[in-house]
Structure 1
Amino acid sequence: MHNRPIVRWLAVVLLAVPGVLFSQQIFEEALLPQGTVQYTSALETLAAGKDNPSDQGPERLGDPDSATKTDPNVKAALAGVKAASTQKWTGRVHFDFWGYPTTDEGANIAERGSADKRPQDHWSFRRLRFGPAGDLGENMNYKIEMEFAAPNKVAFKDAYLGWKNIPVLQTVQLGNQKRPYGLDHLNSSRYNVFTERPYVVEAFNQDARRFGLLSYGISEDQAWNWRGGVFLLEDVALTGKYKAVDGAGDDYQHHQAELASRIANTFVWEDGGRTYAHWALSGSIADPDDSGTEEARFYTRPEARTQKRWLNTGKIVGADEYMLFGAEMAFNMGALSIVGEYQSVTMTRNNGLSGLNFDGGYIYVAYWLTGEYTPWSRTSGTLGRTLPITPWDPANGLCSGAWQFSVRYSTADFTDGISDSAIFGGAGHSVSAVVNWWWNARARVQFSYMHGAIADSKVVEGVYEAEADTHDDDYSIIGVRWMVDF
């Protein structure tokens, strides 16, 4: 039953209002350089030149590369856009090895569906990304980044158009982009300390990006930053489109939207950024369909790049709506960092089914053995790029570069509910140790070891099976990742 259209209509309003309020202002500020006289419309330009046989169609619109005469105002406007536009291509390559020294029968069932088959060691590209980003005039920006790690499933990651310098809202972006919760997901994979993200961060924000409209801003002193918007729940990175779910009535279409926001504060900033402290709160209200769609499911791998997901609630039938809450902190003093997060989801269900509560968190300690520190971006409330004091050079020794050692404890619980309506997605605990060896600011290798246990799970070969017997998993995993970005 869908008797709560509030979230759906809020999504429609939020998507429509910025276009109505700012379309004229954006055109004038972004497409016309400062000092340009009042522009004439494209229709007026066409009408003025329609009787001129030498005035060809594209040239009448003011092609800045045309050698023919054009309307001076249109030409000046387009020339201004071209002069202020930028394009920068970036990419990253992450290549992995994963091995499984010990796994018990439960872990074997979760990965391969059989107690007698151990997970398979494997080599793989984790990320293989490439794409452009830049400005369109002085007040607009864009980004397109494609993922080629699975050649048979090419996907887009960031793919958005943005408007800058808007009163109150500051920056608005429309397109596929990260949802504003989960510090470890908001951090770029280029800078994250651990090889894979924690249970709860990945489960509640699977693949992070969704199509939506997001506004973000910062305070003048950069101590505060905030972001918020409306997103579709479905991941469209592979298909590029979203189809609404048919509702109970002929005229009802359910769009499965989500409102999400985050506010962050860097309340300590000393020694040029070598000492800092940060906190943030985030939250969302989501409206999945109650028919058991993909958007009402939380699942994740065991903090390693296994083939299957070992924690999995399955598609939750009867999901009415859910609320997410997140709290995070980060503290850094020179070479030492301490970072932690907690997240919870509270879900209501229809048809007399019991409500559900899932939660989890992590904390890690990281230390630079060679004297570096982990930079922090106050404008985004995320980790920055480490700069090795002595980049790798054979002349300085084969082990030169920057070395960091880190330990993380992580937990998450996806088992909850009453009687026959209970969900047994598993409750996991994991301890991970990682050594990062940075050769220079854009290249490093990670060595990972983790030991974990999962209890009360009905996950068989990565799929939640309600009729299966519960099992417990115990495992140890090793991983190596080679990373470059440019």
Structure 2
Amino acid sequence: MSNWKQLLAGACVAALWSSSLLSAEPPMPLVPQSPAETGDFTLRLNQLQQRLDRLEAENGKLKQSLFQSHQSPGGANGGVTPANAEMLNADTTCPAACQCPNCAPAKDGKGDWTTGWNHGIEWTSPDKAFKVHIGGRTQFDSVWYGQATSALGGTGGISGSPHDQDAVAFRRARLQATGTIYETIDYMLEFDFVNSTNRESASDLNTEANTINVPAPTDLWLQFKEIPGIGTLRVGNTKEPIGFEHAASSRFLNFMERSYLQDLFAGPFNNGFSPGVMIFNNWAEQRGTWWLGGFKNGGNIFGYDVGNGEHAATGRVTYTPIFDEHEHQVLHIGLAGSARDPDADTNRFRTRSLRNGSGNLATVFADTGTFTTSHQWMAGVEVAGVSGPLSMQAEWIGSWSEDAVSLAGTKSAAAAGTPLGTVYTNGYYAEVHYFLTGESREYDRKNASFGRVVPRQNFRWKDGCFEPGAWQLAFRYGACDLRDEALNGGLLQEYVAGVNWFLNPNTKVQWNYVCTERDSALDGVDGGLIHGFGMRLAHDF
């Protein structure tokens, strides 16, 4: 098969060579017609050298043309290969004049970099192959609580300090550096300087006396883009791909806190970040995304875990059957799942509301306590939409913990060591948001989540000119059920009303009122209502 290809290629080269020679100026004679007329042997050599140089130039042009004709349109299999180079009787590497026609010239970032503002300070190389972005965020919260006495009864953690105490604290204070090196490698380094309390066990509680806000990593990863057949490979500390609200940055949340699902399933005890490896890409002409990763199933906020096994495989797939950027119409649907080998073969589900303390010092509203389990499975369903100034989102996540056995701290009427079977817990929420000033919620197609709000007019009140910024109303209903068979961690329902004022794309003020209906985890003990009010001043760059 290769012989006739070589003959065909040779015939093509010969034909092209012949036609070019016919169309070119007549070649100089190889031998002078009359040596006596010249009488100069040097002249004969010069004539031969000139003809040879001209033929070499023509041959180079023909080779370049033939190399280009072998390129594939998509570039996946194009360019010079050892096979077609051999057909031309050439080396298996490309000639210098046509080295790898499918590849752009190497970019080294040299030259004068530009400095600009892209919601943060950003430096970019002239060839766009290198970029450095310096940013950060601060979220300063004030929280007030009040509740009926009956709401504090029973198990679930709320009876412990500081339960209904008011608080003022920084919810987040982070610095980050993001960017690109050599065009196809991205990086992100971010550390949180507050909220770094870590509870390893029930007997090792953090208190104000022993809590130290040491820096803790959040997003800390390197990713490789444009990998054929895969897309992007990310390695490091990152979010696991489960949940719509979990995928969104805390800079762009609709409320001061995410729903119960975040604390229970998406980011329990690790601040929402896990060390691991993840691949992801878009599909269906950017209408969909898929994510798949393997992670170390740890229980701390410092990006590490030690233990045999204790891995998790988590995936998410999304699709937007409706996406009209100009008319601000979006419909998003998604599924997610996770198979997990629990950390130290134990599980615990607990959830909080407005934070009146950092880390585990915040009030716990529902809590199963710790129990042993061999495997955990999670599944999630999500939907979101945008229609002009109106937007909505809703999610459900369920968890199944197999071969569960109660421990001394388990919220159960059964004695320690009692088999609990497969423990099922779940939660869900639905929320709606509306811009009074006419903006529309941005949908991030790469991340499959809501993005930054950009007001039509930034807030300004100067020299008699008043511009309001963007104003948004929001409402959420959510619930979680931590009761199953002999396990009773409590039942919660929440009603959250919020007002968001976006002064500009980087600054916002949030007001939240949260009414929590708590059913006691103990029979014969009434629950009650818990009222919370929070206010946040947030800034990011």
Name whichever of 426-435 and 133-142 sits farther off: 133-142
Is this contact kept in 2: 1:362–1:411, CA < 8 A? Answer: yes
Match of 2:459 in 1: 392
Q: Give SS of 2:374's match.
A: strand
Is this contact kept in 2: 1:209–1:235, CA < 8 A? Answer: no
Q: TM-score normalized by structure 2?
A: 0.66
Match of 2:386 in 1: 332
Match of 1:84 in 2: 129
Write the mapping of 1:22-171 to structure 2, written as runs, cut at 5 A.
Answer: 84-107=129-152, 113=159, 119-150=164-195, 152-171=213-232
**Cα RMSD after superposing both structures:** 2.8
In the alignment, the residues of structure 2 paired with residue 440 and residue 104 of structure 1 have an alpha-carbon distance, to the nearest angstrom, of 42
Is this contact kept in 1: 2:457–2:467, CA < 8 A? Answer: no
For residues 111 and 241 of structure 1, do their structure 2 counterparts lie closer, same or farther at Cα, with a shift above 3 Å needed?
closer
Is this contact kept in 1: 2:168–2:356, CA < 8 A? Answer: no
In the alignment, the residues of structure 2 paired with residue 297 and residue 118 of structure 1 have an alpha-carbon distance, to the nearest angstrom, of 19
For residues 125 and 290 of structure 1, do their structure 2 counterparts lie closer, same or farther at Cα, with a shift above 3 Å needed?
closer
Q: Give SS of 2:152's match.
A: helix
For residues 220 and 314 of structure 1, do their structure 2 counterparts lie closer, same or farther at Cα, with a shift above 3 Å needed?
same
1:426-469: CA deviation from partner (whole Å, max 9, x where unpaired): 110000000001101110100110111121336xxxxxxxxx99
Is this contact kept in 1: 2:353–2:365, CA < 8 A? Answer: yes
In the alignment, the residues of structure 1 paired with residue 311 and residue 126 of structure 2 have an alpha-carbon distance, to the nearest angstrom, of 35
Match of 2:449 in 1: 382
Q: Give SS of 1:185's match.
A: helix
Gaps of 5+ in 2: 1-102, 111-124, 196-211, 406-418
Match of 2:342 in 1: 288
For residues 377 and 355 of structure 1, do their structure 2 counterparts lie closer, same or farther at Cα, with a shift above 3 Å needed?
same
**Across the two proteins, how many residue pairs are aligned to each other?**
386
Is this contact kept in 2: 1:179–1:260, CA < 8 A? Answer: yes
Gaps of 5+ in 1: 1-32, 37-63, 65-79, 245-253, 459-467
Is this contact kept in 2: 1:140–1:164, CA < 8 A? Answer: yes
In the alignment, the residues of structure 1 paired with residue 431 and residue 469 of structure 2 have an alpha-carbon distance, to the nearest angstrom, of 23
Q: TM-score normalized by structure 1?
A: 0.74
In the alignment, the residues of structure 2 paired with residue 379 and residue 442 of structure 1 have an alpha-carbon distance, to the nearest angstrom, of 21
Match of 1:453 in 2: 517
Is this contact kept in 2: 1:108–1:119, CA < 8 A? Answer: no
In the alignment, the residues of structure 2 paired with residue 135 and residue 157 of structure 1 have an alpha-carbon distance, to the nearest angstrom, of 19
Is this contact kept in 1: 2:158–2:366, CA < 8 A? Answer: no
Q: Which of 421, 443, 465 is matched with 2:507 structurally?
A: 443
Q: Does 1:241 align with 2:304?
A: yes
Q: Give SS of 2:488's match.
A: strand
1:241-264: CA deviation from partner (whole Å, max 9, x where unpaired): 3211xxxxxxxxx22111100000
Name whichever of 151-160 and 378-387 sits farther off: 151-160
1:153-197: CA deviation from partner (whole Å, max 9, x where unpaired): 321100011111111211011110000011111111111111101
User: Kindly, what percent of the aligned residue pairs are identical?
Assistant: 27
For residues 350 and 412 of structure 1, do their structure 2 counterparts lie closer, same or farther at Cα, with a shift above 3 Å needed?
closer
Q: Give SS of 1:354's match.
A: strand
Is this contact kept in 1: 2:256–2:536, CA < 8 A? Answer: yes
Q: Which of 251, 255, 263 is matched with 2:317 structurally?
A: 263
Is this contact kept in 1: 2:501–2:510, CA < 8 A? Answer: yes
Match of 1:278 in 2: 332
Q: Does 1:354 align with 2:417?
A: no
Name whichever of 447-456 and 305-314 sits farther off: 305-314
For residues 347 and 482 of structure 1, do their structure 2 counterparts lie closer, same or farther at Cα, with a shift above 3 Å needed?
same
Is this contact kept in 2: 1:210–1:236, CA < 8 A? Answer: no
Write the mapping of 1:452-471 to structure 2, written as runs, cut at 5 A.
Answer: 452-457=516-521
Match of 1:408 in 2: 476
Deviation (angstroms), 1:308: 2.5
In the alignment, the residues of structure 1 paired with residue 454 and residue 493 of structure 2 have an alpha-carbon distance, to the nearest angstrom, of 33
Q: Which of 257, 262, 281 is matched with 1:196 structurally?
A: 257
Match of 1:218 in 2: 282
For residues 300 and 398 of structure 1, do their structure 2 counterparts lie closer, same or farther at Cα, with a shift above 3 Å needed?
farther
Deviation (angstroms), 1:202: 2.4
Q: Does 1:172 align with 2:233?
A: yes
For residues 390 and 153 of structure 1, do their structure 2 counterparts lie closer, same or farther at Cα, with a shift above 3 Å needed?
same
Is this contact kept in 2: 1:280–1:327, CA < 8 A? Answer: yes
In the alignment, the residues of structure 1 paired with residue 344 and residue 325 of structure 2 have an alpha-carbon distance, to the nearest angstrom, of 52
Deviation (angstroms), 1:107: 3.1
The one-letter code matched in structure 2 to 1:485 is D
Is this contact kept in 1: 2:330–2:385, CA < 8 A? Answer: yes
Match of 1:483 in 2: 538
In the alignment, the residues of structure 2 paired with residue 118 and residue 84 of structure 1 have an alpha-carbon distance, to the nearest angstrom, of 52
The one-letter code matched in structure 1 to 2:294 is V
Which protein shows a greater Rg? 2
For residues 400 and 148 of structure 1, do their structure 2 counterparts lie closer, same or farther at Cα, with a shift above 3 Å needed?
same
Match of 1:61 in 2: none
For residues 125 and 111 of structure 1, do their structure 2 counterparts lie closer, same or farther at Cα, with a shift above 3 Å needed?
farther
The one-letter code matched in structure 2 to 1:474 is L
Match of 2:272 in 1: 208
In the alignment, the residues of structure 2 paired with residue 259 and residue 141 of structure 1 have an alpha-carbon distance, to the nearest angstrom, of 23
For residues 479 and 470 of structure 1, do their structure 2 counterparts lie closer, same or farther at Cα, with a shift above 3 Å needed?
same
Is this contact kept in 2: 1:289–1:320, CA < 8 A? Answer: no
For residues 134 and 123 of structure 1, do their structure 2 counterparts lie closer, same or farther at Cα, with a shift above 3 Å needed?
same
